[in-house]
Structure 1
Amino acid sequence: MNGKVAVVTGGSRGLGKAMVRAFAQAGADVVIASRKVEACEELAEEIREEYGRRALPVACNVSDWSQCDALVETAYAEFGKVDVLVNNAGLSPLYPSLDQVSEALFDKVIGVNLKGPFRLSSLIGSRMAAGDGGSIINISSIAAIRPDTNAVPYGAAKAGLNALTEGVAHAFGPKVRCNAIQCGPFATDIAAAWPENAREFLGRQLALGRVGEAEDIVGAAMYFATDASAYCTGTILRLDGGWR
């Protein structure tokens, strides 16, 4: 990825952080976007010191249309291009029951998981298509096809993200490739909210016998970010350890 520029939303922790570090190690400059800019700044400093790459921290709530626009303008002003966009920011707040899901919660889930990726893919994809091309990677979830009762709005948003993936691939092809990584359970920060023994329970549902660790996403992300996947677009790759 020497000479490439990658933008990663939700890039300061969890799966996003693992991808940012992998891209930088492979020679890319990175834009680290998250709601908490302090965490982005901390990771950016690590990237500069460890890999000698340029790293730009940007505060961005992707559910806000204008903040998505500002992120794009900031990235292009700093680097002049974006070669890889990773729509990784996501959330799934807990709720007691479906009838108690508030409109605000529903809108927030759709905003972060679907609205933001749509806006960023539209803006950056159009610039990629007008230039030298690029790769867009959406981080989806097994919930898109098998939603748990505790994550129905989230599953609906991720199903929309899967549809968005194929639509964007056709809208901006052939120069731009757009693919999705459909993740199973990963033991990132979200695991802190899991019930006791959840890791063991989930592991028993998986062919590989364990939940994923953040670094497990790196191989798939590198594949889609590079020419290794030159003939792959509009694809939803399951990365779930073999979910039943």
Structure 2
Amino acid sequence: MVTGASRGIGLAVARRIVAEGGRVCLTARKEDGLRDAVASLGPEYAIGVAGRSDDEEHRSSTVARVLDAYGRLDVLVNNTGINPAYGPLLDLDLGAARKTLEVNVVAALGWVREAYRGWLGAHGGAVVNVASVAGLRPAGGIGLYGVSKAALIQLTAQLAMELGPAVRVNAVAPAVVKTRFATALYEGREEEVAQAYPLRRLGVPADVASAVAYLASDDAEWVTGQTLAIDGGITLTGGV
């Protein structure tokens, strides 16, 4: 199951799962985009359930739908994330701050809880959380988003300790990836932004999907509680 999967990184992860022979449930807020994403994968390989990740009933009913459709749930990818607040922390609307933490952190915990109780706890499996390099070090303008992703990274480590050995829990921390979500960070100046990266390019969704596929697979069966930076080397320079 991949949350926030109607486009961008989430859809790339879903494509990788299908390419490797798996079946996947996608979630997203908007029904139209979700329908298109499922159609692009093929209804024999994918189903979609529309709803908000911060809605407890949606989380519960989605896990039930997965188990009804596929009879199992081996991997949960927490990809849903929002960033409605931009600017210095002291200037932010606290309502937006609460919403960010609710979606980016609390909902992720809620998804793990539902998946664990529904299947993973008894049968084992893997969780991969999509964090951000902004959760590894401070970044101008997106401070609250970084705070939420730092919390998600810590949540990853804590859950790995609590849910082992049945469930492995890891995270990926992408830098700027060319998605609609990150457009404001590079639009109109992609080459300039890319020059700060040792690999001299921005990421694409498939870069992240490859790392998620590894962490979800048996190849990573002795890896848990880790956060893998998918960053083109930007954190080597002190940047985000």
Q: TM (normalized to structure 1)?
A: 0.90
Is contact 1:133–1:175 with CA below 8 Å preserved after alignment?
yes
Cα distance in structure 1, aligned partners of 2:165 and 2:139: 36
Is contact 2:130–2:173 with CA below 8 Å preserved after alignment?
yes
Say yes or no: does 1:35 pair with 2:26: no
Aligned to 2:179: 188
Shift of 1:184: 0.7
Say yes or no: does 1:163 pair with 2:157: no
Aligned to 2:221: 230
Runs of 4+ residues over 6 Å off in structure 1: none
Aligned to 1:134: 125
Say yes or no: does 1:82 pair with 2:76: no
Q: Deviations over 1:160-183 (max 9, x none)?
A: 101111111122111211100011
For the residue of structure 2 that corresponds to 1:150, the secondary structure is coil
Say yes or no: does 1:19 pair with 2:13: yes
Is contact 1:129–1:173 with CA below 8 Å preserved after alignment?
no
Is contact 2:53–2:59 with CA below 8 Å preserved after alignment?
yes
Summarize the Cα distance change of 1:122–1:97 in structure 2 as closer, same or farther, 3 Å threshold. Answer: same
For the residue of structure 1 that corresponds to 2:130, the secondary structure is strand
Summarize the Cα distance change of 1:96–1:233 in structure 2 as closer, same or farther, 3 Å threshold. Answer: closer
Is contact 1:62–1:111 with CA below 8 Å preserved after alignment?
no
Which segments of 5 or more consecutive residues in structure 2 lack a partner in the other structure? none
Q: Deviations over 1:28-75 (max 9, x none)?
A: 1110100012211111122117xxx43111112112233222222222
Q: Deviations over 1:178-215 (max 9, x none)?
A: 10001111011124323654423331221111110111
For 1:12, the aligned partner's letter is S
Aligned to 1:212: 203
Summarize the Cα distance change of 1:195–1:54 in structure 2 as closer, same or farther, 3 Å threshold. Answer: closer
1:47 is aligned, of 37, 41, 46, to: 41
For 2:209, the aligned partner's letter is V
Shift of 1:135: 0.7
1:105 is aligned, of 90, 96, 113, to: 96
For the residue of structure 1 that corresponds to 2:145, the secondary structure is helix
For 2:35, the aligned partner's letter is E
Aligned to 1:59: 50
For the residue of structure 1 that corresponds to 2:47, the secondary structure is strand
| 1:1-16 correspondence to structure 2 within 5 Å | 7-16=1-10
For the residue of structure 2 that corresponds to 1:23, the secondary structure is helix
Cα distance in structure 1, aligned partners of 2:186 and 2:118: 44
For the residue of structure 1 that corresponds to 2:141, the secondary structure is helix
CA RMSD of aligned residues (A): 1.7
Cα distance in structure 2, aligned partners of 1:181 and 1:210: 18
Shift of 1:77: 2.5
Cα distance in structure 1, aligned partners of 2:23 and 2:51: 18
In the comparison of the two structures, how many residue pairs are matched?
235
Say yes or no: does 1:239 pair with 2:230: yes
Summarize the Cα distance change of 1:210–1:32 in structure 2 as closer, same or farther, 3 Å threshold. Answer: same
Is contact 2:85–2:96 with CA below 8 Å preserved after alignment?
no
For 2:102, the aligned partner's letter is G
Is contact 1:34–1:58 with CA below 8 Å preserved after alignment?
yes
Summarize the Cα distance change of 1:157–1:94 in structure 2 as closer, same or farther, 3 Å threshold. Answer: closer
Cα distance in structure 2, aligned partners of 1:124 and 1:225: 15
Aligned to 2:115: 124
